[in-house]
Chain A
Amino acid sequence: MKIDTEFNAKNLVPDTEAGEPAEGTVNRFDVEMVAVSKSYDGGARAVDEISLRIPKASYCCLLGPSGCGKTTTLRMLAGHEDVTDGDVLIHDRNVTDALPAGRGTSMMFQSYALFPHLSALDNVAFSLKLKKVPKAERQARAMEFLKLVQMEELAHRMPAQLSGGQQQRVALARSLITRPKVLLLDEPLSALDPFLRVLMRSELKRIQTELGITFVHVTHSQEEALALSDMVVVMNNGKIMQAGTAREVFEKPSNTFVARFIGGHNVIEFEGRTVSVRADKCRIVEAVGGRNLPATITSIEYQGPLVRINLVTDDRKDLCAVISDTRFFADPPEVGEAVTFSWMPDDEWAFGA
């Protein structure tokens, strides 16, 4: 078990419960999915034989475009969607057929799904009420979790009186009070405005680190995934395209889909090979000893410290270069200008080929 940080997190991490693997077995992964598939009414597979192992106490993001199967995967972990084929293990216990509440997971819904007739405090205390915990005790415990998410001041408000971000915090506390081994978050930040999103993001990471449990977080934002994850799982068409650390995925995308989806990359067919080059390694001046391509500037986006330059090659392929503002303003190019797009061979990534 993890050593306490400044908050009394020891109360908040899961107990060892019945159904835990017997003494002596090594708990190597918090979550394991073995060839899990999902198809609806015998139709096409929404999730296609995915296998995934999430190490202990990780922040894992399932990343992909809408309809890629990431939410279905999460809901299968939660038990809100039945598994067509394959097995789901949580802490080495096979929970494929277990009820949602009996698998050690807890889900935070995209819409928060707070009970509209209960106050924030009663929402958090809900699972304890189901277990017939006396009122005073359950409210005290719920208050503790509201403190964890910094919502103790608004404990007696009804959900309708809370902002989106506040509702989210309550939903988080409500999920955590069941002491899940794995917390499942379905696009938790998508309904928040950009400012709150960044704030909540660091909050989620803080709480995950404090509790030392695994979070599985579904998102379509690569920025969010890179910022949060110990492990990023990129999905497309019901399959896992790549699973690895944020850095691995960004620096060594395993295929063109991942390179394009994760962003910040140029996927270039050059001299018969397909390579990816990070946009921040590309220049718009001729490079001695480098690769050079003639291109035309189509637009320029100023992003503060960086400037993004979009270009198109003579054979209508889109490219992009990201350079520092200092470099840009030293000799600012103009839209429509014909330039040389260049990169160094060392910066090429040939998808592991």
Chain B
Amino acid sequence: MLNRRPLSYYLLSTFFTAFLLFLYGPMICVYLLSFQGPEGGMSFPMRGFSLVWFETLFSAQGRGVGDLHNSFFRSIRLGLIVALLTMLIGVAAGMSFRRKYPGSNFVFYSAIASMVVPGIFVGFGISLTLRLLGLRPDWWYSGIGAQLTWSLPFAMLIMFIILGRLDKSYEEAATDLGASSAQRFQYVILPLILPGVIGIIMAGFTSSYEESARAGLNIGTGNTMPMELTGLLGAATTPVMFAVGTLTTLFMFSIVIATLLVSGSIAKRRQLRLTAH
């Protein structure tokens, strides 16, 4: 009956496993082949095991392959700034929906529009606008701006969903108890939405780190990571790209794990504070 799994459970479990294999297959190839021996190529079999492709990557003071080093740091810098701005502007916009106001539909649907309009059009449009205004694109304004059009809608929608589930009477109760609007946010709303805010920072960073369709034309001189990698794709004949893949994945892994640890410790501290009382 209920505890006995129906046949469909086993069929679907097999199906899901096959899907995971489809998702992971290529990635596992990347991780394995990045340790390919010096004579090996971009396909199996492995001809020995070596770190030679990682060494290539770091040879010549990090100028071993393309401009990867600088692109990487450019991407990190851009990602951090975009994440911070996304958090500030996105949370504020999400908070605006706590009340009904004329124009809220504009804010909501402009976010939806920005999400569904293919990125190259936004990027192309911004670059045309700059050109007609006689401005030269540069990463610190048009680059960041272009990426915000991608990260902000997600931030706003995450807040919209989270805040939509928060009872409005929390604020009313806080106001009744004499809280100012700043206190209301600090002591009532923020603790409740904190996991979402951390999620927004994460999403802001990763979306910037991965994004190139919008920023590509507006970043000025100097590629970001995805642009540099796309450029290197065509010329790739050795497993050195796989070494890049393994390293950048490890990097993302550590960021995600760090975020989880941070939010975990916040939750734990809150738990401790509760039990202490």
Q: A206 contacts the other chain (Cβ, under 8 Å)? A: no
Q: Which residues of B are found within 8 Å of A82, using beta-carbon distances?
A: 1-3
The A/B interface has a contact count, at CB < 8 Å, of: 10
* Main secondary structure on B side of the interface with A: loop
Q: How far is the CB of A38 from chain B (nearest CB, A)?
A: 11
Please give me the residue from chain A that is nearest to B1 by CB atom.
Answer: A82
Chain B interface residue count, Cβ-Cβ cutoff 8 angstroms: 3
Please give me the residue from chain A that is nearest to B4 by CB atom.
Answer: A82
0/1 interface trace, chain A 278-309, chain B, CB 8 Å (1 if under): 00000000000000000000000000000000
Q: How far is the CB of A215 from chain B (nearest CB, A)?
A: 24
Q: Which residues of A are found within 8 Å of B2, using beta-carbon distances?
A: 79-82
CA distance A82 to B2 in the complex (A): 6
Within 8 A of A (CB), among B21-62: none
Q: Which residues of A are found within 8 Å of B3, using beta-carbon distances?
A: 82
Q: A99 contacts the other chain (Cβ, under 8 Å)? A: yes
CA distance A199 to B3 in the complex (A): 39
Q: Which residues of B are found within 8 Å of A81, using beta-carbon distances?
A: 2
Q: How far is the CB of B135 from chain A (nearest CB, A)?
A: 52
Q: How far is the CB of B5 from chain A (nearest CB, A)?
A: 12
Q: A4 contacts the other chain (Cβ, under 8 Å)? A: no
Please give me the residue from chain B that is nearest to A80 by CB atom.
Answer: B2
Within 8 A of B (CB), among A97-120: 97-99
CA distance A55 to B2 in the complex (A): 28
Please give me the residue from chain A that is nearest to B3 by CB atom.
Answer: A82
Q: Which residues of B are found within 8 Å of A97, using beta-carbon distances?
A: 1
Q: How far is the CB of B122 from chain A (nearest CB, A)?
A: 37
CA distance A262 to B245 in the complex (A): 70
Q: How far is the CB of B142 from chain A (nearest CB, A)?
A: 47
Please give me the residue from chain B that is nearest to A100 by CB atom.
Answer: B1
0/1 interface trace, chain B 1-24, chain A, CB 8 Å (1 if under): 111000000000000000000000
Q: How far is the CB of B7 from chain A (nearest CB, A)?
A: 14
CA distance A81 to B2 in the complex (A): 7
Q: How far is the CB of B141 from chain A (nearest CB, A)?
A: 48
Q: Which residues of B are found within 8 Å of A98, using beta-carbon distances?
A: 1
CA distance A74 to B1 in the complex (A): 16
Within 8 A of A (CB), among B166-211: none
Please give me the residue from chain B that is nearest to A84 by CB atom.
Answer: B3
Please give me the residue from chain B that is nearest to A97 by CB atom.
Answer: B1
Q: How far is the CB of B129 from chain A (nearest CB, A)?
A: 45
Q: How far is the CB of B104 from chain A (nearest CB, A)?
A: 24
Q: How far is the CB of A127 from chain B (nearest CB, A)?
A: 20
Q: How far is the CB of A163 from chain B (nearest CB, A)?
A: 23
Q: Which residues of A are found within 8 Å of B1, using beta-carbon distances?
A: 79, 82, 97-99
CA distance A80 to B3 in the complex (A): 10
Within 8 A of B (CB), among A40-99: 79-82, 97-99
Q: How far is the CB of B120 from chain A (nearest CB, A)?
A: 38
CA distance A82 to B3 in the complex (A): 7
0/1 interface trace, chain A 129-167, chain B, CB 8 Å (1 if under): 000000000000000000000000000000000000000
CA distance A241 to B150 in the complex (A): 63
CA distance A224 to B3 in the complex (A): 34
CA distance A80 to B1 in the complex (A): 9
0/1 interface trace, chain B 82-125, chain A, CB 8 Å (1 if under): 00000000000000000000000000000000000000000000
Q: How far is the CB of B8 from chain A (nearest CB, A)?
A: 14
CA distance A98 to B4 in the complex (A): 12
CA distance A81 to B1 in the complex (A): 9
CA distance A142 to B2 in the complex (A): 30
CA distance A110 to B258 in the complex (A): 44
Q: How far is the CB of B9 from chain A (nearest CB, A)?
A: 15
Within 8 A of B (CB), among A300-338: none
Q: Which residues of B are found within 8 Å of A79, using beta-carbon distances?
A: 1-2
CA distance A79 to B1 in the complex (A): 8
Q: How far is the CB of A234 from chain B (nearest CB, A)?
A: 27
Please give me the residue from chain A that is nearest to B2 by CB atom.
Answer: A82
0/1 interface trace, chain A 260-292, chain B, CB 8 Å (1 if under): 000000000000000000000000000000000
0/1 interface trace, chain A 224-261, chain B, CB 8 Å (1 if under): 00000000000000000000000000000000000000
Please give me the residue from chain B that is nearest to A75 by CB atom.
Answer: B2
Q: How far is the CB of A103 from chain B (nearest CB, A)?
A: 10
Please give me the residue from chain B that is nearest to A99 by CB atom.
Answer: B1
Q: How far is the CB of B234 from chain A (nearest CB, A)?
A: 50
0/1 interface trace, chain B 114-154, chain A, CB 8 Å (1 if under): 00000000000000000000000000000000000000000
CA distance A178 to B3 in the complex (A): 25
Q: How far is the CB of B115 from chain A (nearest CB, A)?
A: 27
CA distance A188 to B54 in the complex (A): 67
0/1 interface trace, chain B 216-251, chain A, CB 8 Å (1 if under): 000000000000000000000000000000000000
CA distance A80 to B2 in the complex (A): 7
CA distance A79 to B3 in the complex (A): 11
Q: How far is the CB of A71 from chain B (nearest CB, A)?
A: 15
Q: How far is the CB of A323 from chain B (nearest CB, A)?
A: 42
Q: Which residues of B are found within 8 Å of A99, using beta-carbon distances?
A: 1
CA distance A146 to B215 in the complex (A): 61
CA distance A98 to B1 in the complex (A): 7
Can you name 5 A-B pairs with beta carbons within 8 Å? A80-B2, A82-B2, A97-B1, A98-B1, A99-B1
Beyond the given A97-B1, A99-B1, please list 8 additional residue pairs across the A-B interface where CB-CB is below 8 A.
A79-B1, A79-B2, A80-B2, A81-B2, A82-B1, A82-B2, A82-B3, A98-B1
9 tightest A-B CB contacts, nearest first: A82-B2, A82-B3, A82-B1, A97-B1, A79-B1, A81-B2, A99-B1, A80-B2, A98-B1
Task: Report B's interface with A, CB cutoff 8 A.
Answer: 1-3
